[in-house]
Structure 1
Amino acid sequence: MITGLRERKREQNRASTVKAAWRLFIEHGYDNVTVADICAAADIAPRTFHRYFPSKEDVVAEPMRRMSKIVADHIAAASPAASDVEVLRGAMTALGRFAVDNRDLLIAVRLVAEHSQHIRGAYLGRPEHEREIVGQLTARHPDADPDAWPRRLLVACTVAAYRLWYEDNLRFDLPDPAAHLDTILTRAFTVSSTTDEPLGEA
């Protein structure tokens, strides 16, 4: 129980440090903010900062790290009986909740990225994210072909659908973000399932 409390405290401290850093990035620009500035804003010692993040660049990557972990954790915890579509829908729904709950932070990420080549490069859609998800899904099926194109198509359509919703969520005040995400995912799954090719698992 003590270990669990420590982990929660650690995650809370990480999150508050990230928020403090992004406030500074918005006000002064990423290139003009130092680790010392972040420590002062977050009211932590440099040693504490480096316990969470090796460098300032790792603060930039933190939102993406958390989002990738949400997807990976959901896939790992999914029932073996669940289909890939069910698992992906659940993972994207969990990711959507994170995006809604952290909308202000993610808007800040986008605004700062528009003025920093370094951050823009870090936050553009990366093909390796899709490959990671394909690998995580494939691991659920011991006899599956890791290169099966239907699964890769399913993941590509799902990621593209989430990215479209993500932009809508940041740009507009959606009356029901969860329903909007569900509608877009349903359309993506319909597109990706218009094939008779099996995915290769038992």
Structure 2
Amino acid sequence: MSDEKTSLRERKKQLTYQAVSDAAIAMFLERGFDKVSVAEVAAAADISKPTLFRYFPSKEDLVLHRFSDHEDEAARVVSGRAPGETPLAALRRHFLDGLDRRDPVTGLCDHPAVLAFHRLLYGTPSLVARLYGYQGRSEKALARALGNGVPARLAAGQIVAVLRILAEENWRRIDAGESAEQVYGSAVASAELAFVQLRTGLEQVSR
């Protein structure tokens, strides 16, 4: 098969992924995750249930598909950093840029559709549990980018945890009623503090 045909096939596959995921999320937002069956999602997407499971191994994957592009994001930032830039400096730069762009992954986004999605995600225990699997894979990818070995694994675990906590805190405040603009300044300050702690260790908070 030619590269052109392979590329076309892959694009069609990605479009199907996106269309099915979007249809499922719309139904989950309207009626609740637990009140919508996989069979109903398949019917709405005009595909069979077995076909749906070929794309999405579990019902939770229909929602977490939106995170698939971000699973190895930290690893890609480290691998693609500028010459002379440290991994931590690259990750700091990337996260601050995400805050500035109101990237939903940073938790600092108050667009109604993003708020609804986050409420669905964090309000559904099975989705939260599945999200930890995503974070574990993100940690492993980052450890590989850092060089593997115990030091790299320890660093990756700390970094992924910090990014998660920063995003959750931003999301918590926005969900409580603050706007992204109101949270932005303290979100930047918290991120700066977090990266200082990553760089210098925990001595300053264990005194």
Task: Confirm or deny: 8 A CA contact 1:154 1:193 kept in the other structure.
Answer: no
Q: Does 1:73 align with 2:76?
A: yes
RMSD: 4.0
**What letter corresponds to residue 66 of structure 2 in structure 1?**
P
Q: Does 1:189 align with 2:198?
A: no
**CA positional deviation for 1:178:** 7.5
Map of 1:113-152 to 2, 5 A cutoff? 113-114=122-123, 116-123=124-131, 128=136, 131-132=139-140, 134-139=142-147, 145-146=151-152
* Letter of the 1:70 counterpart: E
Task: Tell me if structure 2 keeps the 8 A contact 1:138–1:146.
Answer: yes
**How many correspondences in the alignment?**
193
Give yes or no for the alignment of 1:108 onto 2:96.
no
2:25 maps to a residue whose letter is W
Find the aligned partners of 2:81 and 2:167 in 1 and give their Cα distance.
19
1:157–1:42: structure 2 CA closer, same or farther, 3 Å change rule? same
The offset of 1:83, in angstroms, is 0.8
Task: Give 2:16's aligned residue.
Answer: 13
Task: Report the TM-score, using the length of structure 2 for normalisation.
Answer: 0.66
- 1:82 counterpart SS class: coil
* Distance in 1 between residues matched to 2:133 and 2:175, nearest whole Å: 16
Measure, in 2, the Cα distance between the counterparts of 1:58 and 1:13.
14
Amino acid at match of 1:37: E
For the 8 Å contact 1:20–1:38, the answer to whether it is kept is yes
Residues 1:126 and 1:118: Cα distance change in structure 2 (over 3 Å): same
> Is the counterpart of residue 88 in structure 1 residue 94 in structure 2?
no
Structure 2: 5+ residue runs without aligned partners? none
- Secondary structure at 2:10 match in 1: helix
SS in 1 for 2:151: coil
The share of aligned pairs that are identical, in percent, is 24
- Do 1:70 and 1:94's aligned partners in 2 also have CA atoms closer than 8 Å? no
How far does residue 160 in structure 1 lie from its aligned partner after superposition?
Answer: 2.4
